[in-house]
Structure 1
Amino acid sequence: MPNDPQEAPSVEQLIDVIANSSVGIAVTDRSGAVVLHNRAQSVLMGGEADHLGGRILLDSAQDGLRTLIRRLEEEQRVENVQVTYRGIDGGHEQIARVNAVLTGSGDDTRIHWVSRPELGERLPVSNDSAEDVTSDAASWIRAVNERPLPTLAPTKESEDVMREFYEVAPVAIHLIGVNGQVMRANPADVALVGYTSAPSEYVGQHIRTIYEDKGLLDDFLGRWDEDSPIINFRANFLTREGAPQPVLIFSTAQAEGGSVTNTRCFVFSDPEPQRARDTISAFGWPS
């Protein structure tokens, strides 16, 4: 396990984390033409980018996309923007929340998109209730898992694009290893919990450091070993100063032989921090 907080993920880790994440990821040029995207983004778009003429379609055909790109050109970054992804034939519609960041200039401009579906439910559920396989959270992750890799999925040939995405992504990303250690954390993740000035106090340490509810984390660690998804889940992280940081978690794991290799954790600042935090167990956990 790496201890260098500046060490970047391997290209194989980047391919897995981006391609198989539970949130939509796309990298486009400044016109919205897709350079790469993942399985979850295919679900949001109702098909591969090629099917959509190579572009993301939002709201009323291209108008929604142009409006959002103009905003990005002015602000460089947007968070929690509600959009409606549409298929080219108008028969597909998916509401999502988008975080996006614009990098570069001129012909070298790229837009990095991270989209989470607008869901009313979450996974996992509490121990005293059976998992509802018809819930929108369960339906979402099932659709992602069943989607084949798109033609424009990340590959070794797109390493530069993937590395730029990881570094500038407008969402926190961390990879947790078999022993609960934070293997990798991107700059947004380190900043989210207030460790930018001392990343080695977080990266390379146990993920327990940043969870307010330690029992919740213990439950999560067991679920990751089983490759059980954590979708649309509200929790509190703890910053370096000990302050609660309300977050929304989308996480799956790369697991082999009943043991997690690494997680694919995408963490959003909760746009509704006043909401109650989600719980899993029907009984209290010791602190």
Structure 2
Amino acid sequence: MTFDEQELETLSDYFGNAPVALHMLGADAVVARANRTELETLGYQDAPAEYLGHDLREFVVEPRRVDEMLDRLAAEGELQDFPLTLVRRDGGLVPVRLFTSGRRDGDRLVGDRAVLIPRDESRRPKDVPVFQGDTLALAGKSREEKEALYRDLKDFFQHAPVSLHIVTADGRVRYTSARELEAMGYAESPEDYIGHHIAEFHADQAVIDEMLENLVSGAPLVDHRAKLRTRDGRIQPVFIYSSSRMNGGDFVNTRCFTFPLPADAEVESSIHRAFVWPRNEDYGLHAEPSADLSREAAMSLALRYVAGRKRPEETLGFLAECSRLLAGTSDLGTRLREVLRLTAGYLADRAAVHVPAANGGGATWSAGRGAGVGGAADALLQRALAGGITHACLDAGARRGEELERSLLAEGVNALLVAPILVRGTVAGALSLARAADAERTTFGPADLALAEELARRLAPELEIARLRGELHG
């Protein structure tokens, strides 16, 4: 048979270095293949020959349970969550939950495909080893041995008793099992699932953010709870085990195993979300995949998405530094310019605070590239000052047919936010932020809008104190 060497390497890594125990039984319950996690779990990592090729009954507290499993497999085709207690090489007991599907030759059961997880999972991710390398010793195999291994691994992946998938560095699903396509409702149209970003199928974006962050950094997922959205819109609670294939320090792909939970199960996450910061929509999720996408570009897509979760942490640090600067002892103008310089470096290309005067004119402090406002930007500023609500053009380039957007682009501005500074409901000034049309970041999103409004709220007391001291008039 013919096979793709790269696919064989991917499947070999997936099986050999998976974060859960895997094995394939042959005739008469003989262990034909087992992965590193199973060998480590049972203590045979240094003596695999004492496990491989042996009857599974030798490693079970009650051998009759293996016979029961095989009888049920022959009758039912698969077993979900079958309790079994294994015996380690040192005599220790390992209670597991067994998920298995039968391998057949016609009507005859000739083996199984098994996934095993601890019955009472108490490990923390940092306590779970993440394996790398050529665990199945591909390099030393003949072509005939590779062909046999490829057949077994392909069969295991396609017909495993639980949902399997591989997500590559661009965040997209590249391989998936038949069970997963069926469970997610894409069995008839796999092209609507494979090749799409994994985040599209998660109901809780904060959870997938956390998962991607862990996996890109090389940390495993252990009994990680999540909610998936199936094709028909149904929400399916699941728990997930996954680890990352790494090449040096670079993330290559995931090794993901997904197990269903009852539909009414409580899905607890390690994320506390009593307070939620808005997220910008575009982190490159919908960029068209390219066959010649470089590793750097692929990592950029994945990490830009992960940045959606990192942003609130950075935002907190930015706001804390702004508060520290505003609490200084220098005059108002100096403190405002320090905050604006910080803001222009973090959030925009230019930033300004405008305080109008009752008789016209007023004061403006600004910082950053091209600081100041032009005619179109001034029009947006006047709307915010008059109405006391935020006005924004988030992406002029996307609406260049509109008069305001054309004017902003002519002034070299692609995105502009103007947030009013309110003191007890009265407009005391406005904060304006602009991103240049030729900058690396040219658009604003919901997170930027929320951050601008929060910064405006922190500026309000300073303007009011300055007014009471007679430093401002208006």
User: TM-score scaled by structure 2?
Assistant: 0.51
Task: Determine what percentage of the aligned residue pairs are the same residue.
Answer: 24
Question: Mapping of 1:132-147 within 5 angstroms?
Answer: 135=123, 138-139=126-127, 141-142=128-129, 145=131
Distance 2:215 2:72 in 1: 38
More divergent stretch after superposition (38-47 vs 53-62): 53-62
The CA deviation at 1:100 is: 0.6
Distance 2:56 2:113 in 1: 12
RMSD: 3.0
Q: Does 1:39 align with 2:36?
A: yes
1:23 alignment partner in structure 2: 20
**Alignment-mate amino acid for residue 110 of structure 1:** G
Q: Which runs of 5+ in 1 are unaligned?
A: 1-6, 122-134
Higher CA-based Rg: 2
- Do the aligned partners of 2:165 and 2:255 also contact (CA within 8 Å) in 1? yes
2:104 alignment partner in structure 1: 104
Q: Does 1:238 align with 2:229?
A: yes
The CA deviation at 1:70 is: 1.4
1:218 alignment partner in structure 2: 209
Q: Does 1:268 align with 2:282?
A: no
The CA deviation at 1:272 is: 8.1
**Alignment-mate amino acid for residue 254 of structure 1:** R
The alpha-carbon distance between structure 1 residues 166 and 174, as it changes in their structure 2 partners (threshold 3 A), is same
Residues 141-170 of structure 1 show CA distances to partners (whole Å, capped at 9, x for unaligned) of: 23x649994789x97341111111111111
Question: Mapping of 1:176-195 within 5 angstroms?
Answer: 176-195=167-186
Q: Does 1:201 align with 2:192?
A: yes
1:130 alignment partner in structure 2: none
Q: Which runs of 5+ in 2 are unaligned?
A: 280-474
Residues 242-266 of structure 1 show CA distances to partners (whole Å, capped at 9, x for unaligned) of: 1111111000011235432111001
Correspondence for 2:151 among 160, 166, 188: 160
Distance 2:173 2:198 in 1: 6
1:11 alignment partner in structure 2: 8
2:95 alignment partner in structure 1: 95
Distance 2:87 2:60 in 1: 6
The CA deviation at 1:33 is: 0.4
Residues 28-82 of structure 1 show CA distances to partners (whole Å, capped at 9, x for unaligned) of: 1132101111011113333255324612245435222112111111211100111
Distance 2:48 2:70 in 1: 18
Distance 2:206 2:221 in 1: 15
2:68 alignment partner in structure 1: 67
The alpha-carbon distance between structure 1 residues 27 and 172, as it changes in their structure 2 partners (threshold 3 A), is same
Distance 1:191 1:255 in 2: 29
2:15 is paired with a residue whose SS is helix
Question: Mapping of 1:114-129 within 5 angstroms?
Answer: 114-121=115-122
Distance 1:27 1:228 in 2: 27
Distance 1:14 1:136 in 2: 26
The alpha-carbon distance between structure 1 residues 65 and 184, as it changes in their structure 2 partners (threshold 3 A), is same
The alpha-carbon distance between structure 1 residues 147 and 255, as it changes in their structure 2 partners (threshold 3 A), is closer
Q: Does 1:55 align with 2:55?
A: yes
1:31 is paired with a residue whose SS is helix
The CA deviation at 1:281 is: 4.9
Distance 1:9 1:77 in 2: 30
More divergent stretch after superposition (276-285 vs 32-41): 276-285
Distance 1:285 1:23 in 2: 35
1:10 is paired with a residue whose SS is helix
- Aligned residue pairs, count: 264
Distance 1:86 1:221 in 2: 35
Residues 152-205 of structure 1 show CA distances to partners (whole Å, capped at 9, x for unaligned) of: 9x9734111111111111111111111111111111111121111221111101
Distance 2:277 2:94 in 1: 37
2:164 alignment partner in structure 1: 173
- Do the aligned partners of 1:39 and 1:147 also contact (CA within 8 Å) in 2? no
- Give the number of the structure whose residues are more often helix, by fraction: 2
Distance 2:100 2:254 in 1: 22
Distance 1:269 1:40 in 2: 22
- Do the aligned partners of 2:132 and 2:245 also contact (CA within 8 Å) in 1? no
- Do the aligned partners of 1:224 and 1:255 also contact (CA within 8 Å) in 2? no
The alpha-carbon distance between structure 1 residues 69 and 27, as it changes in their structure 2 partners (threshold 3 A), is same
- Do the aligned partners of 1:46 and 1:86 also contact (CA within 8 Å) in 2? no
The CA deviation at 1:234 is: 1.3
The alpha-carbon distance between structure 1 residues 174 and 206, as it changes in their structure 2 partners (threshold 3 A), is same
- Do the aligned partners of 2:218 and 2:251 also contact (CA within 8 Å) in 1? yes
> Which structure's relative contact order is higher, taking Cα pairs within 8 Å and 6+ residues apart?
1
1:227 is paired with a residue whose SS is coil
1:161 is paired with a residue whose SS is helix
The CA deviation at 1:9 is: 7.8
